[in-house]
């Protein structure tokens, strides 16, 4: 069981940055009108954001981080730790966190971590940075998560193109002895690693193979995984934390597609108003989807929020965090 | 003879394939061969079966069913 509690760390704010360029699913080539209508109504996705070819996830995260630091009036010298979560880093090596520390003008005393995680990555990142801060005495931390996942998708892949979108986000965390505890629960199903896979470009099939880099997803496997395995992780989180479903104000799920969101909402017997969606305008932004949804839907939120990501790995990670007085910056377009 | 439950299941399938002509969908239909069949349609069918029967049909269930009657038998066995 990977259930744990972190103390003394408060989620202070969140900011998001999306590419300015939009792609509309209504304009998809190679789909009939009735196919597009069904696709849009089932996936819930009308528009997606596509990063410029020379722009990386770290660029989107950088813009979000600058905005958040400014909105919080943080002094950059005070930031002790930065965690960058992405599956589309700048390079295979070095990791992007050290470059981000430099680009943001943070102190050389700031420690950086790179985490290769996808749809569940935000909760993974929150758990990592919260544990580091709780155990080290670090006062301020930044969690950056983003992907330019559209660069890994073949333009000819009719099942993936309508789904995925690019975004970068930043979340600010602060050490506070008055902070409410955060509760985490995760599950790992590594046997299913091929369900969402980019084979090329790393150790198993490097560039010398001459193959084009493209993401492959076994859509039905991932769908069945999502609707069968996520709810037990959430139920277990409630059971082990002692927090009840009724105590949660908002449920921010990974924005996989609307059919999955609706299924989870129905299985948990939740009012749809408690389960925000950003799919219509931003599609599936991979690991950034939870903080992007938080940026747009959690301003003025009081109380406890449940966040849950699921996908690549395959992995599931859920957490319950207090979001009182959360600063949600205005969305940036780059 | 069809059971009432099988007929109800076939009616559900007919609502999920509205573009198929009347009479096309019967207990002997292999949905995987329908012109409307796609990965998206597969998700919709799994979701509706889950909603109505509280059963998640696996890919193996689909692949090993040559028609809707066999698929329905698998759903029923998972409910019991």
Q: What is the mean pLDDT of chain B?
A: 88
Residue A131: what pLDDT? 96
Asked whether A315 and A308 are in contact (CB, 8 A), the reply is no
Domain borders along chain A are: 1-334
Provide the domain count of chain B. Answer: 1
3-state percent helix, strand, coil for chain B, nearest multiple of 5:
60, 0, 40
Q: Place A212 in a pLDDT band, splitting at 50, 70 and 90.
A: confident
Give every CB contact of residue B66 below 8 A, 6+ residues apart in sequence: B30
- What the block records as the tokens of A295 is 């940026």
Across the interface, which of B39, B44, B56 has its CB nearest the CB of A227? B56
Q: Give the mean pLDDT of A70-88.
A: 97
Average pLDDT of the segment spanning A232-240: 96
pLDDT band (50, 70, 90) for residue A217: confident
In order, the DSSP letters of A136-192 are H---EEEEEEEE-GGGGS-TT-TTTTTTB--EEEEEEEEE-TTPPPEEEEEEE-GGG
Residue contact B56–A34, C-beta within 8 A: no
Q: Reply yes or no on whether the pLDDT at A147 is more than 90.
A: yes
β A315-322/A182-188 pair status: antiparallel
CB nearest B59 (choices: A38, A159, A221):
A221
For the ranges A132-146, A152-166, A212-226, B28-42, the maximum mean pLDDT occurs at A132-146
Domain hosting B65: range is 4-79
Q: What is the pLDDT of residue B1?
A: 47
Inform me whether the C-beta atom of residue A200 falls under 8 Å from chain B C-beta atoms. Answer: no
List chain B residues with CB under 8 Å of A219: 39, 42-43
Preceding amide of B20 cis, omega within 30: no
Q: Does B34 touch chain A (CB under 8 A)?
A: no
Q: What is the dihedral of CA A86, A89, A94, A97, to 10 degrees?
A: -50
Per-residue b/e over A261-271, b at no fewer than 16 CB within 10 Å? Answer: bbbbbebbebe
Question: What gap in Å lies between CA A136 and CA A138, rounded to an integer?
Answer: 5
Here the CATH number for the domain that contains residue B38 is: 1.10.1200.10
Residue A103 sits at φ, ψ, to 5 deg, of -65, -35
* Among B19, B43, B57, the residue to mutate for chain A (most A Cβ within 10 A): B43
Report which secondary-structure segment, H or E, holds A47: strand A47-49
Instruction: List Cβ neighbours of A102 (8 Å cut-off, separation of 6 or more).
Output: none
Q: Which of A28, A33, A34, A38 to mutate to test the interface with B (most CBs of B within 10 A)?
A: A38
| ipTM value > 0.95 | no
A259 and B39 within 8 Å at the Cβ level: the answer is: no
Look up the pTM and report it.
0.93
Domain spanning A1-334, CATH class: alpha beta
């Amino acid at each position: 069981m990977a259930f744990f509690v972190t103390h003394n760390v408060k989620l202070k704010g969140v900011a998001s940055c999306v590419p300015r360029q939009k792609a509309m699913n209504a304009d998809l080539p190679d789909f009939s009108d009735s196919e597009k209508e069904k696709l849009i109504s089932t996936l819930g996705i009308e528009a997606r954001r596509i990063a410029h070819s020379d722009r990386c996830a770290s660029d989107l995260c950088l813009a979000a981080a600058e905005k958040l630091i400014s909105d919080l009036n943080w002094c950059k010298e005070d930031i002790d730790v930065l965690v960058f979560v992405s599956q589309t880093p700048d390079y295979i090596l070095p990791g992007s966190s050290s470059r981000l520390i430099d680009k943001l003008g943070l102190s050389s005393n700031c420690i950086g971590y790179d985490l290769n995680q996808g749809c569940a990555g935000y909760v993974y990142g929150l758990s990592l940075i919260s544990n580091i801060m709780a155990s080290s005495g670090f006062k301020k931390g930044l969690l950056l998560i983003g992907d330019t996942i559209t660069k890994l998708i073949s333009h000819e892949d009719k099942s993936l193109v309508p789904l995925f979108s690019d975004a970068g986000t930043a979340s600010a965390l602060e050490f506070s002895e008055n902070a409410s505890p955060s509760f985490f629960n995760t599950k790992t199903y590594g046997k299913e690693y091929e369900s969402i896979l980019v084979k090329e470009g790393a150790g198993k099939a490097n560039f010398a193979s001459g193959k084009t880099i493209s993401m492959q997803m076994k859509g039905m496997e991932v769908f069945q995984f999502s609707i069968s395995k996520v709810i037990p992780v959430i139920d277990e989180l409630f059971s082990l934390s002692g927090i009840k479903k009724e105590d949660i104000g908002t449920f921010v799920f990974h924005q996989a597609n609307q059919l999955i969101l609706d299924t989870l909402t129905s299985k948990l017997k939740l009012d749809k108003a408690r389960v925000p969606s950003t799919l219509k305008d931003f599609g599936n932004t991979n690991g950034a989807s939870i903080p992007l949804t938080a940026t747009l839907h959690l301003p003025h939120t009081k109380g406890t929020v449940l966040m849950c990501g699921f996908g690549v790995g395959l992995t599931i990670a859920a957490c319950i965090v207090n979001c009182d007085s959360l600063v949600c910056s205005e969305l940036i377009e780059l | 003879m069809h059971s009432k439950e099988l007929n109800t299941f076939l009616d559900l399938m007919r609502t999920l394939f509205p573009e198929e002509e009347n009479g096309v969908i019967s207990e002997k239909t292999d949905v995987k061969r329908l012109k409307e069949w796609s990965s998206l349609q597969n998700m919709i069918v799994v979701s509706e079966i889950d909603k109505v029967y509280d059963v998640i049909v696996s890919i193996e269930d689909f692949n090993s069913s040559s028609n809707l009657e066999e698929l329905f038998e698998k759903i029923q066995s998972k409910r019991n």
